[in-house]
Amino acid sequence: MSQMPQLAACPSCEEPLESGDRFCGACGYDLSAVPAPPDDHPTITMNGSAPRPPSAAPAVAGAAPVPPVTAVDWPVAPEADSSGTPAAVVLPADIEGRESGGSDSPGVRFDRPAGSPAPPHTQSSALPPERSQPPSPAQPHARPQGQAQGQPQGHVQPPAHTTAPGPAPASAHGSASGSAPASAHRSGPGSDRASAHGSASGPAQASAHAPGHAPAPAAHAAAEPDEYPLAAPLPPEIPADELPTVEVPTLDAPLADPRTADLATPAAGLKVCVACRAGQVDRDGYCENCGHAQPRERDHMEQELDAVAAVSDRGLRHHRNEDAFTVSATALPDGSPAVVAIVCDGVSSATRPDEASLAASRAAGESLLAALPCGTHPQQAMHDAILAAAEAVNSLADPAASAHEHQPHVNAPACTLVGAVVTPTLLVVGWVGDSRVYWVPVDRSAPPARLTEDDSWAAQMVAAGLMNEAEAYADERAHAITGWLGADAYELEPHTASFKPDRPGVVVVCTDGLWNYAEGAEEMAEVVPPDAADRPLHSAQVLVGHALDGGGHDNVTVAVLPFPAPQQGAGSA
């Protein structure tokens, strides 16, 4: 929490302040005391190091350490990566048949994209036996149906298709979903989680799991058509404007573009330097007297919609903000709202990371806004959005342009991406890199959870069983990322997962600029204000403030989305 001394005016530039200001509005002076910097681990890529065999890759990524949480009845992040192969586009009509899992049975089901190239037990075997596994996640799944909230708790729908690398996603679907994550997380000694899992879920689900790690027959998936709780998608031929969309405010791209936020750079000659208050600002954004760079529009950005808010800040140690975000809201074909947040963190060892993050967040946001109203399954839509973002970032790599960059590192522009889609019943996350999603229940007696697994060196080390979590994260390479969007990325492996939270809560989508200061899910939950679901913007501000109070060593970006997405009526603004 940021506790600001109440000052009447900025100590640096005498600009009058408003209560609650964390920065001077004129000069950007940080009004909070800056504590001693913690160990900072800037996001860097590890080109060339720690290569991993493609087959093991998904498992490794998914096997990153999960914060040990006792008595969680929310699942830890499932293994739901898409193994780098572009998913087959799922037509809306296909969705139903593809849904694995039977009814809305309570109990958590981890979704595993169908048709993922490695059979589930391959995933399992790729996991290190010694991987520390929180014992708790297995328990909730074993719960009888209808227990607790009576909701399908942590029920992860198996949209499988997300990552489906081409061949017959549907057939593999049933088996892959649920079983794979279970085995992945169970890692080695006995897949009791899988069995627990199976028992918790409905009969159909159980049967899906029963074959265990063998490919399920295609008929299997087809046998459970009505499992997916969202309304049946409309055929794609129906024009979007005829869709019974709920009037949830839909931001079009320009609005979602942080650059067009009302933080325009003042025209040259009209503004006095915020640093020396003596010179005017030239056209290049520098003071004509003292030469100091002026605050830029991206230094601090905030955006709020009804059911989502995001805040991004340059932080205290970086000279520019290389993070970017998109928040938007749309409606599914059945009229229920879908809220989208995308957060990207530019890789600072690459060139033009700020452009990369901006391009990625915009592309992903636009892709989701286009896909969701058409009935594309949210997890598939997320997968496609990541691919669209990757393409946008790749297109920034321009050999001719990079020749003019005389930076110490001349890498193609790159960034991480993390996104969340919240509907009234479903929570879908997707990510590449080390930006994260946390789940914080409104009822704080229920445990929070982290829903993503970093593509990072430390996560890989732990996953490979080469180090324990403490050792891995103590290493200076810990935060080197092993997956990113960019022309120089290895084979892109978008990870997606979908959840059916059994209780209301908030989804925190953030870059490492925040989670460096609240790593564990419990720590994060402590920082999230109790009223986060009601005041997302305030919560995002508080979270950014937490990172700045901790030293603000990196750019900080946070999006906060309440779950479930509020039904129509809330979206009046």
The smaller minimum CB distance to another protein, of residues 41 and 155, is found at 41
Write the DSSP string, 323-365: EEEEEEEEE-TTS-EEEEEEEEEE-TTSSSHHHHHHHHHHHHH
Question: Which residue stretch of 81-89, 400-408, 479-487, 512-520 sits at the interface with another protein (rule: CB under 8 A)?
Answer: 400-408
Question: Which residue stretch of 114-122, 407-415, 457-465, 506-514 sits at the interface with another protein (rule: CB under 8 A)?
Answer: 407-415
| Residue of the chain from 406, 443, 445, 573 that contacts another protein (CB under 8 A) | 406
Site for another protein in 326-355 (CB under 8 A): 348-349
For strand 427-432 and strand 495-499, is the pairing parallel, antiparallel, or unpaired? Answer: antiparallel
CA 486, 391, 245, 325 dihedral sign is positive
Question: Which residue stretch of 104-112, 154-162, 232-240, 318-326 sits at the interface with another protein (rule: CB under 8 A)?
Answer: 318-326
For strand 44-45 and strand 480-481, is the pairing parallel, antiparallel, or unpaired? Answer: parallel
Q: Is the preceding peptide bond at 564 cis, omega within 30 degrees of 0?
A: yes
- At residue 151's C-alpha, the angle toward residues 150 and 156, to 5°, is 140
The smaller minimum CB distance to another protein, of residues 387 and 481, is found at 481
Q: Which x/- pattern, by CB under 8 A, does the window 497-536 give for another protein?
A: ----------------------------------------
- Per the CB < 8 A criterion, the answer to whether 309 and 539 are in contact is yes
| Residue of the chain from 319, 410, 444, 474 that contacts another protein (CB under 8 A) | 319
Measuring CA to CA, how many Å separate 151 from each of 143, 423, 428, 520, 562?
Answer: 12, 15, 17, 26, 17
| Residue of the chain from 101, 154, 315, 501 that contacts another protein (CB under 8 A) | 315
The smaller minimum CB distance to another protein, of residues 185 and 298, is found at 298
SS3 490: coil
Question: Which residue stretch of 87-95, 283-291, 394-402, 510-518 sits at the interface with another protein (rule: CB under 8 A)?
Answer: 283-291
Per CB under 8 A, 479 contacts another protein:
no
Per CB under 8 A, 293 contacts another protein:
yes
Per CB under 8 A, 476 contacts another protein:
no
Rounded to the nearest 10 degrees, the angle between the axes of helix 169-186 and helix 192-200 is: 120
Per CB under 8 A, 292 contacts another protein:
yes
| Residue of the chain from 289, 468, 567, 568 that contacts another protein (CB under 8 A) | 289
Question: Which residue stretch of 13-21, 141-149, 314-322, 533-541 sits at the interface with another protein (rule: CB under 8 A)?
Answer: 314-322
Per CB under 8 A, 399 contacts another protein:
no
The Cα–Cα gap between 133 and 130 comes to 8
- Extended beta strands in 74-144, E state: none
| Residue of the chain from 314, 362, 479, 546 that contacts another protein (CB under 8 A) | 314
Secondary structure of 422-483 as H, E, C letters = ECCCCEEEEEECCCEEEEEECCCCCCCEECCCCCEHHHHHHHCCCCCHHHHHHCCCCCEECC
| Residue of the chain from 184, 301, 316, 540 that contacts another protein (CB under 8 A) | 316
Per CB under 8 A, 22 contacts another protein:
no
Closest CA to 332 of 387, 379, 288: 379
Per CB under 8 A, 193 contacts another protein:
no
Closest CA to 97 of 231, 224, 215: 224
Q: Which residues bind another protein (CB under 8 A)?
A: 40, 42, 276, 278, 284, 286-287, 289-293, 314-320, 348-349, 406-409, 553
